[in-house]
Amino acid sequence: MKKPRVDLSKFQNSTFERGATILKELLWIIIRALFFNHSLALVNRLKIDLLKLFGAKVGQGVIIKPSVMIKFPWKLIIGNHVWIGEKVWIDNLDQVVIEDHVCISQGAMLLCGNHDYTKETFDLIVKPITLKRGTWVGAKAVVCPGVTAHPDSILSVGSVATKDLDASGIYQGIPAKKIRERVIAQ
């Protein structure tokens, strides 16, 4: 019989740094279920205070809508006047930095982890994500590991950013390609 090309029984994750104790992570899972991962519109201030309690750095004027999934708040930095829409998933296995005046629309995903498909063991790869000032991640768009969205860039609805987005660029498609420049009226 032919040897399998991928052997998940050999997968090991020993180099991955969770960044918190098991107890802290378990407590966060409970808090996330009670206050974040549901459709009730709870007091925004409470969500921000809980994120800070678990190590997130959160600025002023941040809006977090219902059903937001945040993997590890201790690996999250959110600037001022950021909007995080319903059902956003921040799978921050590595650091996620969201600078000032960023909008992340409904159902968008920030994915810091992936797997090395070239290895039999399908090893985990994690890289940070940075969304610079004024960026907009459209509804159901995906930002992949290692991507930096430079200031005022837009990733349009349903698009997938696999590479950095230029400042003021508007990106669309899978994988996302620059389709034009963003012009902001004064």
CATH code of residue 48: 2.160.10.10
Q: What is the pLDDT of residues 36-81, one digit of tens each?
A: 887 766 788 999 999 999 999 999 999 999 999 999 999 999 999 9
Query: For residue 8, is it within any domain?
Result: no
Residue 173 or residue 6, greater confidence? 173
Average pLDDT over residues 10-20: 81
The answer to whether residues 169 and 178 touch, using CB atoms and an 8 Å cutoff, is yes
For residue 47, what are the domain limits?
A: 20-179
Least Cα distance to 115 among 3, 4, 12 occurs for: 12
Query: For residue 122, is it within any domain?
Result: yes
What is the domain count for the chain? 1
Query: For residue 2, is it within any domain?
Result: no
Question: Alpha carbon of 84 to those of 77, 80, 171: distances in Å?
Answer: 13, 12, 20
d(CA 92, CA 87): 15
Q: Residue 18 has what pLDDT? A: 86
Query: For residue 6, is it within any domain?
Result: no
